[in-house]
Structure 1
Protein backbone atom coordinates (compact mmCIF):
# COMPACT_ATOMS: atom_id res chain seq x y z
CA UNK A 1 0.00 0.00 0.00
CA UNK A 2 2.48 2.69 -1.07
CA UNK A 3 1.85 6.41 -0.53
CA UNK A 4 2.49 8.78 -3.45
CA UNK A 5 3.87 12.10 -2.21
CA UNK A 6 2.87 15.01 -4.44
CA UNK A 7 4.49 18.41 -4.05
CA UNK A 8 5.75 21.49 -5.83
CA UNK A 9 9.53 21.49 -5.99
CA UNK A 10 9.68 24.65 -3.85
CA UNK A 11 8.16 22.46 -1.09
CA UNK A 12 10.68 19.65 -1.60
CA UNK A 13 12.19 19.88 1.89
CA UNK A 14 8.78 19.36 3.52
CA UNK A 15 7.93 16.53 1.11
CA UNK A 16 11.22 14.78 1.86
CA UNK A 17 10.65 15.19 5.61
CA UNK A 18 7.19 13.60 5.30
CA UNK A 19 8.66 10.86 3.12
CA UNK A 20 11.29 10.15 5.79
CA UNK A 21 8.63 10.07 8.49
CA UNK A 22 6.49 7.58 6.57
CA UNK A 23 9.50 5.45 5.64
CA UNK A 24 10.58 5.39 9.28
CA UNK A 25 7.09 4.08 10.09
CA UNK A 26 7.69 1.24 7.57
CA UNK A 27 5.28 2.69 5.04
CA UNK A 28 6.34 2.36 1.42
CA UNK A 29 6.35 5.65 -0.43
CA UNK A 30 6.89 7.08 -3.86
CA UNK A 31 8.54 10.46 -4.29
CA UNK A 32 9.83 11.48 -7.70
CA UNK A 33 13.27 12.73 -6.59
CA UNK A 34 14.13 9.20 -5.42
CA UNK A 35 12.96 7.56 -8.65
CA UNK A 36 15.63 7.21 -11.31
CA UNK A 37 13.04 6.65 -14.03
CA UNK A 38 11.25 9.93 -13.35
CA UNK A 39 14.60 11.74 -13.49
CA UNK A 40 15.53 10.34 -16.91
CA UNK A 41 12.33 9.85 -18.88
CA UNK A 42 10.96 11.79 -21.81
CA UNK A 43 7.45 10.74 -20.74
CA UNK A 44 7.18 12.13 -17.20
CA UNK A 45 3.38 12.27 -17.44
CA UNK A 46 3.25 8.55 -18.21
CA UNK A 47 5.62 7.72 -15.35
CA UNK A 48 3.72 9.84 -12.83
CA UNK A 49 0.35 8.42 -13.92
CA UNK A 50 1.66 4.86 -13.62
CA UNK A 51 3.23 5.51 -10.22
CA UNK A 52 -0.06 6.92 -8.91
CA UNK A 53 -1.90 3.79 -10.03
CA UNK A 54 0.73 1.68 -8.23
CA UNK A 55 0.00 3.52 -4.95
CA UNK A 56 -3.04 3.31 -2.70
CA UNK A 57 -2.73 6.76 -1.11
CA UNK A 58 -1.71 10.23 -2.25
CA UNK A 59 -0.45 12.81 0.20
CA UNK A 60 -0.14 16.26 -1.39
CA UNK A 61 2.13 18.84 0.22
CA UNK A 62 0.32 22.12 -0.46
CA UNK A 63 1.54 25.68 0.03
CA UNK A 64 0.80 29.06 -1.51
CA UNK A 65 3.39 28.07 -4.15
CA UNK A 66 1.22 25.12 -5.18
CA UNK A 67 -1.25 27.50 -6.80
CA UNK A 68 1.39 28.12 -9.47
CA UNK A 69 1.89 24.41 -10.12
CA UNK A 70 -0.08 22.34 -12.52
CA UNK A 71 1.56 19.05 -11.46
CA UNK A 72 0.04 18.84 -7.97
CA UNK A 73 -3.57 19.38 -9.20
CA UNK A 74 -2.87 16.93 -12.05
CA UNK A 75 -1.64 14.29 -9.59
CA UNK A 76 -4.61 14.85 -7.29
CA UNK A 77 -6.89 14.49 -10.31
CA UNK A 78 -5.21 11.24 -11.35
CA UNK A 79 -5.53 9.91 -7.79
CA UNK A 80 -9.21 10.90 -7.76
CA UNK A 81 -9.86 9.09 -11.04
CA UNK A 82 -8.04 6.03 -9.66
CA UNK A 83 -10.07 6.15 -6.40
CA UNK A 84 -7.02 6.55 -4.17
CA UNK A 85 -7.07 7.74 -0.57
CA UNK A 86 -6.10 11.42 -0.70
CA UNK A 87 -4.84 13.80 1.99
CA UNK A 88 -3.18 17.17 1.88
CA UNK A 89 -0.47 18.55 4.14
CA UNK A 90 -0.68 22.34 4.41
CA UNK A 91 2.52 24.31 4.78
CA UNK A 92 2.56 28.02 5.52
CA UNK A 93 -0.34 30.23 6.49
CA UNK A 94 -2.26 30.50 3.24
CA UNK A 95 -5.66 28.87 2.84
CA UNK A 96 -5.94 25.65 0.89
CA UNK A 97 -8.00 25.50 -2.30
CA UNK A 98 -11.64 24.62 -1.64
CA UNK A 99 -11.47 21.51 -3.82
CA UNK A 100 -9.26 19.92 -1.13
CA UNK A 101 -12.06 20.16 1.48
CA UNK A 102 -13.31 16.76 0.35
CA UNK A 103 -10.28 15.04 1.92
CA UNK A 104 -8.42 15.21 5.24
CA UNK A 105 -6.15 18.24 5.65
CA UNK A 106 -3.03 17.69 7.71
CA UNK A 107 -1.18 20.69 9.16
CA UNK A 108 1.21 19.34 11.80
CA UNK A 109 3.52 16.50 12.73
CA UNK A 110 0.76 15.27 15.00
CA UNK A 111 -1.60 15.07 12.01
CA UNK A 112 1.01 13.04 10.11
CA UNK A 113 1.00 10.65 13.08
CA UNK A 114 -2.79 10.37 12.73
CA UNK A 115 -2.31 9.58 9.02
CA UNK A 116 0.21 6.85 9.89
CA UNK A 117 -2.19 5.36 12.45
CA UNK A 118 -5.12 5.45 9.98
CA UNK A 119 -2.94 3.85 7.32
CA UNK A 120 -1.87 1.08 9.71
CA UNK A 121 -5.43 0.49 10.91
CA UNK A 122 -6.57 0.08 7.34
CA UNK A 123 -3.75 -2.39 6.68
CA UNK A 124 -4.43 -4.29 9.92
CA UNK A 125 -8.15 -4.62 9.32
CA UNK A 126 -7.43 -5.48 5.68
CA UNK A 127 -10.07 -3.08 4.37
CA UNK A 128 -9.98 -3.48 0.63
CA UNK A 129 -7.64 -1.17 -1.16
CA UNK A 130 -7.68 -2.06 -4.84
CA UNK A 131 -5.19 -1.13 -7.47
CA UNK A 132 -6.66 -2.76 -10.56
CA UNK A 133 -9.99 -2.66 -12.34
CA UNK A 134 -12.67 -4.63 -10.55
CA UNK A 135 -16.34 -5.35 -10.95
CA UNK A 136 -18.88 -2.74 -9.89
CA UNK A 137 -19.81 -4.39 -6.58
CA UNK A 138 -16.17 -4.43 -5.43
CA UNK A 139 -15.75 -0.84 -6.62
CA UNK A 140 -18.62 0.12 -4.31
CA UNK A 141 -16.99 -1.63 -1.34
CA UNK A 142 -13.69 0.04 -2.13
CA UNK A 143 -15.36 3.46 -2.35
CA UNK A 144 -17.07 2.92 1.00
CA UNK A 145 -13.74 1.95 2.56
CA UNK A 146 -12.05 5.03 1.09
CA UNK A 147 -14.82 7.25 2.48
CA UNK A 148 -14.44 5.58 5.87
CA UNK A 149 -10.68 6.24 5.80
CA UNK A 150 -11.22 9.89 4.85
CA UNK A 151 -13.98 10.50 7.41
CA UNK A 152 -12.18 8.82 10.30
CA UNK A 153 -8.96 10.71 9.58
CA UNK A 154 -10.81 14.03 9.21
CA UNK A 155 -12.49 13.47 12.57
CA UNK A 156 -9.23 12.57 14.25
CA UNK A 157 -7.44 15.64 12.86
CA UNK A 158 -10.34 17.88 13.86
CA UNK A 159 -10.31 16.52 17.43
CA UNK A 160 -6.53 16.64 17.71
CA UNK A 161 -6.23 13.28 19.45
Structure 2
Protein backbone atom coordinates (compact mmCIF):
# COMPACT_ATOMS: atom_id res chain seq x y z
CA UNK A 1 0.00 0.00 0.00
CA UNK A 2 1.54 3.36 -0.96
CA UNK A 3 2.07 5.93 1.78
CA UNK A 4 -1.05 7.89 2.69
CA UNK A 5 -1.10 10.08 5.79
CA UNK A 6 -4.31 10.69 7.75
CA UNK A 7 -3.93 14.15 9.28
CA UNK A 8 -5.81 14.34 12.57
CA UNK A 9 -6.54 17.79 13.97
CA UNK A 10 -9.03 19.95 15.81
CA UNK A 11 -11.14 22.24 13.64
CA UNK A 12 -9.33 25.31 15.00
CA UNK A 13 -6.05 23.89 13.67
CA UNK A 14 -7.30 23.40 10.10
CA UNK A 15 -4.93 26.03 8.69
CA UNK A 16 -1.88 24.36 10.29
CA UNK A 17 -3.13 20.93 9.12
CA UNK A 18 -3.58 22.23 5.57
CA UNK A 19 -0.03 23.64 5.54
CA UNK A 20 1.32 20.29 6.70
CA UNK A 21 -0.76 18.50 4.06
CA UNK A 22 0.65 20.77 1.33
CA UNK A 23 4.23 20.11 2.50
CA UNK A 24 3.69 16.34 2.56
CA UNK A 25 2.03 16.37 -0.86
CA UNK A 26 4.76 18.49 -2.46
CA UNK A 27 7.25 15.95 -1.12
CA UNK A 28 5.51 12.94 -2.62
CA UNK A 29 3.17 11.69 0.10
CA UNK A 30 -0.58 11.34 -0.29
CA UNK A 31 -2.80 12.69 2.46
CA UNK A 32 -6.33 12.49 3.79
CA UNK A 33 -7.43 15.78 5.31
CA UNK A 34 -11.05 16.08 6.42
CA UNK A 35 -11.28 19.80 5.63
CA UNK A 36 -12.08 18.96 2.01
CA UNK A 37 -14.37 15.99 2.72
CA UNK A 38 -18.10 16.63 2.28
CA UNK A 39 -18.96 13.31 3.94
CA UNK A 40 -18.14 14.75 7.34
CA UNK A 41 -21.69 16.07 7.66
CA UNK A 42 -22.47 12.64 9.13
CA UNK A 43 -22.68 12.31 12.90
CA UNK A 44 -22.34 9.78 15.70
CA UNK A 45 -21.70 6.17 14.76
CA UNK A 46 -21.98 6.92 11.02
CA UNK A 47 -19.22 9.49 11.27
CA UNK A 48 -17.05 7.17 13.36
CA UNK A 49 -17.51 4.37 10.81
CA UNK A 50 -16.69 6.75 7.96
CA UNK A 51 -13.51 7.97 9.66
CA UNK A 52 -12.43 4.37 10.35
CA UNK A 53 -12.99 3.60 6.66
CA UNK A 54 -10.80 6.55 5.68
CA UNK A 55 -8.12 5.41 8.12
CA UNK A 56 -8.23 1.95 6.52
CA UNK A 57 -7.05 3.64 3.31
CA UNK A 58 -4.11 5.29 5.11
CA UNK A 59 -0.79 3.90 6.23
CA UNK A 60 -0.04 6.60 8.79
CA UNK A 61 -1.55 9.13 11.14
CA UNK A 62 -0.03 12.50 11.89
CA UNK A 63 -1.83 14.31 14.72
CA UNK A 64 -1.62 18.09 14.92
CA UNK A 65 -1.43 18.92 18.62
CA UNK A 66 -2.08 22.46 19.83
CA UNK A 67 -3.37 24.14 22.95
CA UNK A 68 -6.90 23.57 21.57
CA UNK A 69 -6.46 19.82 21.09
CA UNK A 70 -7.11 19.02 24.74
CA UNK A 71 -10.75 20.01 24.13
CA UNK A 72 -11.07 17.49 21.29
CA UNK A 73 -12.81 14.14 21.50
CA UNK A 74 -11.91 13.12 17.97
CA UNK A 75 -8.12 13.55 17.91
CA UNK A 76 -7.47 11.13 20.81
CA UNK A 77 -10.03 8.71 19.34
CA UNK A 78 -8.29 8.82 15.94
CA UNK A 79 -4.91 8.25 17.61
CA UNK A 80 -6.38 5.23 19.39
CA UNK A 81 -7.78 3.81 16.16
CA UNK A 82 -4.45 4.36 14.38
CA UNK A 83 -2.63 2.57 17.20
CA UNK A 84 -5.08 -0.32 17.04
CA UNK A 85 -4.55 -0.58 13.28
CA UNK A 86 -0.73 -0.37 13.69
CA UNK A 87 -0.50 2.75 11.54
CA UNK A 88 2.77 4.66 11.62
CA UNK A 89 2.06 7.37 14.18
CA UNK A 90 3.59 10.76 14.94
CA UNK A 91 2.47 14.15 16.21
CA UNK A 92 3.17 17.68 15.04
CA UNK A 93 3.27 19.91 18.11
CA UNK A 94 2.00 23.35 17.13
CA UNK A 95 3.01 26.61 18.79
CA UNK A 96 3.91 26.35 22.45
CA UNK A 97 1.76 23.28 23.12
CA UNK A 98 3.35 20.53 25.14
CA UNK A 99 3.45 16.88 24.16
CA UNK A 100 0.67 15.02 26.00
CA UNK A 101 2.08 12.28 28.22
CA UNK A 102 0.36 9.50 26.29
CA UNK A 103 2.04 10.67 23.05
CA UNK A 104 5.63 10.86 24.32
CA UNK A 105 5.98 7.21 23.30
CA UNK A 106 5.66 8.21 19.63
CA UNK A 107 7.83 10.60 17.60
CA UNK A 108 6.79 14.23 17.74
CA UNK A 109 7.67 17.02 15.34
CA UNK A 110 7.90 20.76 15.93
CA UNK A 111 9.48 22.27 12.80
CA UNK A 112 9.51 21.94 9.05
CA UNK A 113 12.93 20.30 9.34
CA UNK A 114 11.32 17.68 11.62
CA UNK A 115 8.55 17.25 9.04
CA UNK A 116 11.23 16.63 6.39
CA UNK A 117 12.71 13.89 8.60
CA UNK A 118 9.21 12.43 8.94
CA UNK A 119 8.88 12.34 5.14
CA UNK A 120 12.28 10.68 4.73
CA UNK A 121 11.60 8.04 7.39
CA UNK A 122 8.11 7.40 6.00
CA UNK A 123 9.52 6.63 2.57
CA UNK A 124 12.31 4.49 4.03
CA UNK A 125 9.93 2.48 6.22
CA UNK A 126 7.50 1.92 3.35
CA UNK A 127 10.33 0.55 1.21
CA UNK A 128 11.21 -1.76 4.09
CA UNK A 129 7.61 -2.99 4.26
CA UNK A 130 7.49 -3.55 0.49
CA UNK A 131 10.80 -5.44 0.60
CA UNK A 132 9.57 -7.73 3.39
CA UNK A 133 6.33 -8.40 1.49
CA UNK A 134 8.30 -9.32 -1.64
CA UNK A 135 10.46 -11.67 0.42
CA UNK A 136 7.36 -13.51 1.65
CA UNK A 137 6.95 -11.93 5.08
CA UNK A 138 3.55 -10.37 4.35
CA UNK A 139 2.02 -11.09 7.76
CA UNK A 140 4.82 -9.37 9.70
CA UNK A 141 5.88 -6.71 7.18
CA UNK A 142 3.65 -3.88 8.43
CA UNK A 143 4.47 -4.53 12.12
CA UNK A 144 8.19 -4.59 11.32
CA UNK A 145 7.88 -1.32 9.38
CA UNK A 146 5.82 0.16 12.24
CA UNK A 147 8.58 -0.49 14.78
CA UNK A 148 11.36 0.57 12.41
CA UNK A 149 9.61 3.84 11.50
CA UNK A 150 9.10 4.88 15.11
CA UNK A 151 12.59 3.87 16.25
CA UNK A 152 14.37 5.54 13.32
CA UNK A 153 12.31 8.72 13.38
CA UNK A 154 12.72 9.17 17.13
CA UNK A 155 16.49 8.65 16.77
CA UNK A 156 16.72 11.20 13.92
CA UNK A 157 14.78 13.69 16.08
CA UNK A 158 17.03 13.07 19.10
CA UNK A 159 14.18 11.65 21.17
CA UNK A 160 14.67 8.74 23.58
> For the superposition of Structure 1 and Structure 2, which TM-score range results when normalised by the shorter chain?
0.7 to 0.9
TM-score for both structures, normalised by structure 1: 0.86
**What secondary structure sits across from 1:102 in the alignment?**
coil
Shift of 1:34: 1.5
CA RMSD in angstroms, aligned pairs only: 1.9
Q: Is 2:4–2:31's contact at 8 Å kept on the other side of the alignment?
A: yes
1:54 aligns with 2:67: no
Shift of 1:33: 1.1
**What secondary structure sits across from 1:122 in the alignment?**
helix
Residue equivalent to 1:91: 94
Shift of 1:44: 1.6
1:147 aligns with 2:147: yes
1:41 aligns with 2:45: no
Q: Is 2:126–2:145's contact at 8 Å kept on the other side of the alignment?
A: no
Alignment: residue pair count: 151
Shift of 1:122: 2.3
Shift of 1:29: 0.4
Shift of 1:140: 4.1
Shift of 1:139: 4.6
Task: Give matches, 1:119-134, under 5 Å.
Answer: 119-125=122-128, 126-127=130-131
* Structure 1, unpaired ranges of 5+: 130-136
Shift of 1:8: 0.5
* Structure 2, unpaired ranges of 5+: none
